[in-house]
Amino acid sequence: MTAATANGNHAIEDPVVTKVQDASPIQESTLFEELYHMQCFRTGEFFLKSGQMTPIYIDLRRIMSSPRVLRMAAQAMCDKILSSNIKFDYVVGVPYAALPLATLVSDILNVPMLMKRKEAKAYGTKQLIEGVYQPGGTVLLVEDVVTSGESIRETAEAIRKENLKVTDAIAVLDRQQGAVCNLAEDNLNFLRYYDEISSFLTMEGVLDGLITKNEMTEERKRQIIEHLAKPF
């Protein structure tokens, strides 16, 4: 049950269920259910950073309003990071939406966090990268939703200018619109939470999940996939 709030959104009941970090690895279906409950999947007409119209918008910014779901998503990323055996000295969230996730990943893994600003300030230290770091260190980039991978690339570029290395990036959800190839061109290894193409945490998986909720038809899914395959 939901209640209307002043900004037109709905307050979401958020029952405390389990402590996630003590549990076995988080299942993609569990995370899908939580994101669905948080109303992260919106159908309609929305525009992406690239300017492309999308008939489905995935808004993971909403999960910061539930510490439990935010932690679950961060823990899912940490499961993937640990199983991938990648090495890094710092965690950086791609601004802004991924900053809460990156903060929790840093906390769970006990790895220092840095912050990349979208724009340098005109006062204070005027730094684009905030935090304490040693040149030569390696950064893991944390993203919420990846579309083209451009935001990850921009963040990696700014970090590399500070003589830090960036070889890996991870996202909760891949919209499957070319990021894997685009990032490989920039020597970035892109990890999704799950690699299987049928995973819930890909665009195709989300659409399949919405079909099981009777909020999508197979025909509409086909149309959306076709639309999203068009060049930006």
Residues lying near ligand PRP in the complex (CB under 6 A): 49-50, 94-97, 143-151, 179
Q: If DSSP codes are grouped into helix, strand and coil, which group holds residue 201?
A: coil
Buried b (16+ CB within 10 A) or exposed e, 52-70: bebebbbbbebbbebebbb
Cβ of residue 177: shortest distance to ligand PRP, in angstroms? Answer: 8
168 φ, ψ to 5°? -135, 145
- Measured from the CB atom, is 149 or 205 closer to ligand PRP? 149
**Number of C-beta neighbours around residue 122 at 10 A:** 6
Question: Least distance in Å: CB of 222 to ligand PRP?
Answer: 23
Q: Which of 211, 212, 204 is nearest to 58 (CA)?
A: 204
When the beta carbons of 103 and 151 are compared against ligand PRP, the nearer one is: 151
Smallest distance, Å, CB 219 to ligand PRP?
27
User: Quick one: 39 or 83, whose CB is closer to ligand PRP?
Assistant: 39
Distance CA 105, CA 71 (A): 9
State which residue, 18 or 63, has the beta carbon closest to ligand PRP: 63
Least Å distance, CB 22 to ligand PRP, is 29
Per the structure block, which two tokens stand in for 182? Answer: 């685009």
